[in-house]
Structure 1
Amino acid sequence: MPRDTLTADRIVRAAIELLDDEGLDGLNMRSLAKRLGSAPTAVYWHIKTKDDLVRLAGDAIWYEVELPDLDAADWRTAAAAHATGMHAMLTRHPWLGQAFGSHLLHGAGQARHNDLSLAIYEKAGFAAADADRAAATVFTFVLGSTLGPAAQVSLNRRLNKDGADGEQRMADAMKRATEIAMQFPRLRERLGTTAATEYAAAPDDTFTFGLQCLLDGFAARLAAGNTRRRR
């Protein structure tokens, strides 16, 4: 493919697909150029470094998250929708959570969500400093909720490369983990009612439960503040 048929947007989209398939470790200019049917030098003409590519890809996927309309929804409905949208995006693209710890990420895509998040908690009634804290707390919770699935994707990718040996290593590890867990009464009770592989995963609705608890806490704090001001 001639260099002039490429665009930065096409390269970023292809990079997102490659990152979804292979993770951060699988992204390199040669593999990306092959996916685009181009030469690595043509890719470098538009985007100079892998770090730039990860930054651009990481920002582009924030546009997948729909922004709630603060004029049409109360703060709590907007907060739940925004957090759920972020969670879904981070689950679709598990490499982004890893990139937060290894790359300098910034851009308009993420900034518009940061700004909206602050607006949500200011609408709720928090002063600016507490709105910052509330937004950061929810983001930390959302990100943390996706780390387990992201780690599993990375582990599965690594083990799959080892074929049958990888499957055996997983089976052996699950067996040893189960033997250890059986020494503890509450873990033993739960393992008696579910398969070890199912128990290793987070229980159903864990994210929804945790998010509602956070928002309950915010609502209680706001109500308590209003009560103190009326006295």
Structure 2
Amino acid sequence: MSADRKPAGSVWTRPRPRQREHLTREQIVAAAIELLDAEGVEALSMRKLGTHLDAAATSLYRHVANKDELIELVVDDVYGELDLPVVTGRTEWRAAVTRTATELRAMALRHPWIAPQLGQVGLVHIGPNALRMSLGLLAQFEEAGFPAGERDQAVGTLTAYVIGIATAEAAYLSLIARSGRTEREWVAGLRPAFDEASREHPELREGTSAQQDVDPRQIRDDDFRYGLDRVLDGLAARLDA
């Protein structure tokens, strides 16, 4: 990448270029998401994206300076999938936060490449959809009664849990997808090896035996909700204190 193509600041802080060709930023972002969902971040390149769009790479550089800026745009576009509930009373805050956290996890699992992008330390997402989500969560915690000095920390605690879980799940599901098997088939294939390894550790087998016939997806959903409830229990206790 030549030095003159490096961005000054963020793609969101520069004026949007005038439209001179049929290719639009929205088309670029939509095509990039298609490639990312199919092949992941490592496989995405400006050249491959140009081929996918049947356009020269130079056309793409009129809209984004490099791949990093493209990722900024696609991450924000995916944030736009979230529908944040509006809290109108303190008694509703927990249900609203639960729904937001559940939607954030679902979004990350629909787009497995995005979870590591959301979890990068020091990376601040300032696109309009990301800001809308942050403001929505802050409003939910404000309505709950958290003081101004703690709202950011409460939001950070919640999102750290969701992104952490979603990152691990996305990696697990991507591994299964590459195997060509379903999640049920994958888990069933691992069970004989696990049973053999845990033969002398009945405490390990007790929990898994009870869940042997349960849909693995349901187990993941239940585990996520259990952890989320415990996080919210802790935040609720802080409110009571």
Aligned length: 215
1:114 matches 2:131: no
Q: Could you give the per-residue CA deviations for residues 194-216 of structure 1, whole angstroms, max 9, x where no partner exists? A: 55997799544122222222223
Pairs within 5 Å for 1:78-117:
78-99=96-117, 100-101=119-120, 104-106=123-125, 107-117=127-137
Matched, 1:9 2:9: no
Tell me how far apart the structure 2 counterparts of residues 212 and 151 of structure 1 sit (CA, whole Å).
Answer: 23
Q: Distance in 1 between matches of 2:209 and 2:190?
A: 18
User: Please, which runs of 5 or more residues in structure 1 have no aligned partner?
Assistant: 164-169, 226-231
Change (3 A) 1:196 1:27: farther
**Aligned equivalents of 1:11, 1:56: Cα separation in 2:** 9
Q: For 1:191 and 1:47, how far apart are their aligned partners in 2?
A: 49
In structure 2, distance between residues paired with 1:40 and 1:18: 15
Q: Secondary structure at the match of 1:66?
A: coil
1:229 aligned residue: none
The match for 1:155 is: 175
Write the letter of the residue equivalent to 1:130. Answer: E
Q: Secondary structure at the match of 1:46?
A: coil
TM-score (norm 1): 0.78
| 2:95 is the counterpart of 1:77 | yes
Q: Percent identity?
A: 38
Question: Once the two structures are superposed, what CA deviation does each residue of 1:128-187 show, in whole Å capped at 9, x if it has no partner?
Answer: 222222111110111122122210233245556xx9xxxxxx999776555434442222
Matches of 1:153 and 1:37, distance apart in 2: 31
Shift of 1:20: 0.9
Q: Is the 8 A contact 1:70 1:120 kept in 2?
A: yes
Question: 2:74: which partner in 1?
Answer: 57
Q: Find out whether 1:212 has 2:191 as its counterpart.
A: no
State the one-letter code of the partner of 2:235. Answer: F
Paired amino acid for 1:28:
S
What is the match of residue 134 of structure 1?
154
Q: 1:217 to 1:28 in 2, by over 3 A?
A: same
Larger mean Cα displacement after TM superposition, 195-204 or 94-103 = 195-204
The code of the aligned residue for 2:101 comes to A
* Partners of 1:174 and 1:197 within 8 A in 2: no
Q: 1:105 to 1:56 in 2, by over 3 A?
A: farther
User: How do 1:16-31 and structure 2 match up within 5 A?
Assistant: 16-31=33-48
2:49 paired residue number: 32
Partner of 1:221: helix, strand, or coil? helix
Aligned 8 A contact 2:108 2:166 in 1? yes
TM-score scaled by structure 2? 0.75
For residue 65 of structure 2, the aligned residue among 48, 51, 64 is 48
With over 3 angstroms needed to count, the CA separation of the structure-2 counterparts of 1:31 and 1:182, relative to structure 1, is farther
| Rounded Cα–Cα distance in structure 2 between residues aligned with 1:55 and 1:93 | 15
Name the CA distance, whole Å, in 2 between partners of 1:196 and 1:59.
Answer: 39
Given that 1:126 and 1:222 are in contact with CA atoms closer than 8 Å, whether structure 2 keeps it comes out as yes
What is the CA distance between 1:74 and its match in structure 2?
A: 2.1
What is the RMSD of the two structures over their aligned residues, measured on CA atoms?
3.2
